[in-house]
Structure 1
Amino acid sequence: MSVFKAVEATFSNAAIISSITSTIFIILLGFFLRRHGTFGENFGKVLTNVSLTVAIPALAFNSFMQPMDSTAFHQGMGVLVWGIIIYVLLIFVTPFLYQRYVKDEREVLAILTTFGSTTFFGIPIVGAVYGAKGVMYSSIFNIGYRIFLYSYAYIKMSGLKMAAKNVKKMFLNPIVIATFLGLFMWLGQHLVPQVTVPAVVNGVQGTAMVHVAFYRIDQTALWLFKPLTYLANIASPLAWLAIGATLGSISIKEAAADKTPWYYAFNKVIIVPLLNLIILYLLNLTGILSLSYVAVATIVVMMATPTAAVVSAYAISFDRKALLSSNASLISTIAAVVMMPIWIAIMEVINGLGIFH
């Protein structure tokens, strides 16, 4: 398929276009509701807490309620390995992007560039565009992210040794619990007792029979899977409304006056995902690591996200360029809202060209 035809196919795909417009429109809705006072000062934080403690964990867990074959297993493990390698690589590479800055600024900007809002910003978009398989890959990819976020990023931002409270945060976070529980259930589904039940397709029970693990609640306990699905379905709109509300509560004019956040945002939402895409293409070309289109697209979207809220919190808590971090978070969020549809379109064009399978 030619590039022109791939572009034409992308922008004539109603599902892709509607996913992009849904993201933009709901973020804008959150922005205007906050500006007009419908959403209070702390409402964005309330939406964020609900999303992070209830909706996204349900989304992550449900994404693992699907069959596992050798292809899915190898793709998942490839995403897991890359999810660790890329953060090690970024930890060493990102400081070179900020060589003209003094040491303290360079360290903070490098960490802000390495760690994006993959959970709150990335997963809802991945779910809307690439479905359950994309969410599953993003959840697996985030394992490496959380390991380094709560260890390396904490140590560098605080100047202290690893704290026990961060280890606790890492393992008792609802999203981490849901991810590991779902992952272990997905990996072990052929090793536990199997049951024969009528197959459930798109939430509707049919007449054909299927053999599944007893804990595959999408097939064996629809009464439990359905409420989790309702919770999972609100993850995206809640996250997008909260992003809009956050943008609506901050002075964009003041943040935009500083050139550094703009340079940072360029690195965060363009250079970092582009680096991932190029390396994954080369690894695929050489056969070293062959990931599917959905896996690669998921990783690119996850890496094109703005500043991670946890890193911003570190900056404020430990007084490490708190104002710079806040401005960088705001500008990178705006940049990500603009670039995300572009990255999704680019990945669709790449898919049309058949570069990844």
Structure 2
Amino acid sequence: MNIAKAINVTFSNPAIMSSITSTIFIILLGFYLRKRNIFTEQFGKILSKVVLSVALPALAFNSFMQPINNETFTQGINVLIWGIVIYIILIFTTPISYAKYPQDKRDVLAILTTFGSTTFFGIPIVGAVFGAKGIMYSSIFNIGYRIFLYSYAYIKMSGLKMKASNIKKMFVNPVVIATFLGLVLWLAQNYMPQISVRQAVNGVINPEAPMIKVAFYRIDQTAIWLYKPMQYLANLASPLAWLSIGSTLGSTSFKQAASNKTSWYYSFNKVILVPLINLALLLILNVTNILPISYVALGTIIIMMATPTAAVVSSYAISFDREAVLSSDASFVSTILAVVAMPFWIAFLGVFSQSGIFG
């Protein structure tokens, strides 16, 4: 199948198109509501706190409430490995793109390029496009991301040694707790006491469904009364995150941010170049069978890497007075570019779905 036909097939897929349009329309709604002052400047921050402390943890935990088999286990391990390796690669290579800049600005731009908004921006889109399996892979992928974000990025931006308080942030973050708890339960389920139940799909039990055996803590099958509230909270993640993104964009001066040429150069590197590097390396590793991954795992990783500036890194820049204005402008421009580019990335990934290169 040629590229044009593959892209046409992707854009003709109602599920994919509805995911793309949902993202764009709800972000635009948040932007409009902020411009009309229906959303205050603080409201977007409140929404983001709800997403990060409640909705995303529920989304991450629920994504692990599914069976484990050799394929998903292998893919999960490969995603975990790549999620650590790619950040090591980016830490050493991203400064090369900014060699013409002074040392301080080069360091900041390299950190901004390495760490994107994978949790707040990436996971909701992954969930909309690839469902629970994509969310599970994205949660596993983020393990390496958080290790380096709260260690290397903090040390580099602050110029200080690692603080105990920052290590605490790494492990007591609600999303991190939900991810590790879900991951452990998912890996251990075949070794835990089993219960026979009628199979439920999306929290609904069909009286004629076959009986299956699952670990006693698989709440999606054994405790629907607990799973459904978690699912309602998880379903809030995408719309609230997108409204918050739109509200944040509506609070920023586009004219000021757009006049900064460095922000556009950075945004191209972050939203276009970094995902392309990932794609090229993963294609080589897959073809050589060194690190084979599935199409869903590939799509998850590319979407996670095509995200704009991470809010944590922007906070570092402001807190430690490291190119704070540049960081804010870069965050704004990269978010705009990511929103525009994401549909094309999803369509481009459809080429690999049709090609069969990735299983």
Q: Answer whether TM exceeds 0.5 for this pair.
A: yes
Q: Which residue of 2 aligns with 1:334?
A: 336
Q: Secondary structure at the match of 2:116?
A: coil
For 2:249 and 2:201, locate their aligned partners in 1 and report how far apart those are by CA, in whole Å.
39
| Equivalent pair of 1:3/1:353 in contact (CA under 8 Å) | no
| Equivalent pair of 2:60/2:139 in contact (CA under 8 Å) | yes
Q: Secondary structure at the match of 1:121?
A: helix
| Equivalent pair of 1:48/1:238 in contact (CA under 8 Å) | yes
Q: Which residue of 2 aligns with 1:348?
A: 350
| Equivalent pair of 2:31/2:250 in contact (CA under 8 Å) | yes
For 1:297 and 1:175, locate their aligned partners in 2 and report how far apart those are by CA, in whole Å.
21
Do structure 1's residue 269 and structure 2's residue 274 form an aligned pair? Answer: no
Q: Secondary structure at the match of 2:41?
A: coil
Q: Secondary structure at the match of 1:188?
A: helix
| Equivalent pair of 1:134/1:298 in contact (CA under 8 Å) | yes
Report sequence identity in percent: 69
Q: CA deviation at 1:202?
A: 2.7
Alignment of 1:110-125 (within 5 A): 110-125=110-125
Q: Secondary structure at the match of 1:51?
A: helix
For 1:53 and 1:222, locate their aligned partners in 2 and report how far apart those are by CA, in whole Å.
22
| Equivalent pair of 2:202/2:220 in contact (CA under 8 Å) | no
Q: Which residue of 2 aligns with 1:94?
A: 94
For 1:301 and 1:6, locate their aligned partners in 2 and report how far apart those are by CA, in whole Å.
18
Q: Secondary structure at the match of 2:161?
A: coil
For 2:106 and 2:309, locate their aligned partners in 1 and report how far apart those are by CA, in whole Å.
15
| Equivalent pair of 1:94/1:113 in contact (CA under 8 Å) | yes
| CA root-mean-square deviation | 0.6
| Equivalent pair of 1:57/1:179 in contact (CA under 8 Å) | yes
Q: CA deviation at 1:204?
A: 1.5
Residue by residue over 1:71-121, the C-alpha shift from the partner in whole angstroms, topping out at 9 and shown as x without a partner, is 100000000000000000000000000000000000000000000000000
Q: Which residue of 1 aligns with 2:175?
A: 175
Residue by residue over 1:299-343, the C-alpha shift from the partner in whole angstroms, topping out at 9 and shown as x without a partner, is 000000000000000000000010010111010000100111110
What letter matches 1:254 in structure 2? Q
Q: Which residue of 1 aligns with 2:304?
A: 302
Alignment of 1:193-272 (within 5 A): 193-206=193-206, 207=208, 208-272=210-274
Paired residues in the alignment total: 357
For 1:8 and 1:274, locate their aligned partners in 2 and report how far apart those are by CA, in whole Å.
21
For 1:79 and 1:350, locate their aligned partners in 2 and report how far apart those are by CA, in whole Å.
18
Q: Which residue of 2 aligns with 1:140?
A: 140
Evaluate the alpha carbon distance shift between residue 181 and residue 249 of structure 1 in structure 2; reply closer, same or farther with a 3 A threshold.
same
Q: Which residue of 2 aligns with 1:6?
A: 6
What letter matches 2:145 in structure 1? Y
Structure 1 segments of 4 or more deviating over 6 A?
none
Q: Which residue of 2 aligns with 1:60?
A: 60
Q: CA deviation at 1:11?
A: 1.4
Q: CA deviation at 1:8?
A: 2.0
Which TM-score applies when normalising by structure 1? 0.99
Unaligned runs of 5+ in 2: none
Do structure 1's residue 18 and structure 2's residue 18 form an aligned pair? Answer: yes
Q: Which residue of 1 aligns with 2:151?
A: 151
Q: Secondary structure at the match of 1:190?
A: helix
Residue by residue over 1:16-53, the C-alpha shift from the partner in whole angstroms, topping out at 9 and shown as x without a partner, is 01100000000000000000011011000000000000
Q: CA deviation at 1:2?
A: 2.8
For 2:32 and 2:8, locate their aligned partners in 1 and report how far apart those are by CA, in whole Å.
33
Q: CA deviation at 1:4?
A: 3.0
Q: CA deviation at 1:5?
A: 2.5
| Equivalent pair of 2:27/2:246 in contact (CA under 8 Å) | yes
Do structure 1's residue 190 and structure 2's residue 190 form an aligned pair? Answer: yes
